[in-house]
Amino acid sequence: MAEAGAERGREDDAGRSRPRRPVPLTFEPGAPADTGGDRFFDLESMDDPSELLDRATELALAFRAAADRATEFQAIAAAQLADPRRFDRLTFEGLAEQAGWTEDYARRMVEYGESLIRGGGIAP
């Protein structure tokens, strides 16, 4: 897990970097649904610190990958909503209000989304 877990992407046959699939973010099968305590992916029940570190690291990487992916989708949606060709186009101010961002951040997200769309980045 050491080197593979720290790797943020892999190269395909053409040498392009592609995202890794994150570890599944689910509870262990058969875990009681209402244990009445603070349960976080069953980490609190692990006794082996090495196993705990490995699983916690996997989860941290998975959450980072999921957050990065979600941000890309936010940016694409922002670019689409602010597209001047839309009759119902949102201004940066309107977009910021809808998403809970500042107007400057909305502008930067639109620019980022436009670059993703131009580059054929991710498909919405």
What is the tens place of the pLDDT at every residue in 33-51?
555 556 777 888 888 889 8
> Would you state the structure tokens that stand for residue 48, as one six-digit string?
């082996």
Give the Å distances, CA to CA, from 57 to 3, 23, 25, 87, 98.
12, 10, 12, 46, 34
Q: What is the pTM of this model?
A: 0.62
Q: Are the C-beta atoms of 98 and 104 separated by less than 8 Å?
A: no
The predicted pLDDT at position 110 comes to 97
Q: Give per-residue pLDDT as tens, 77-99.
A: 999 999 999 999 999 999 999 99
Give phi and psi for 15, each to the nearest 5: 85, 5
Highest mean pLDDT among 26-30, 70-74, 117-121: 70-74
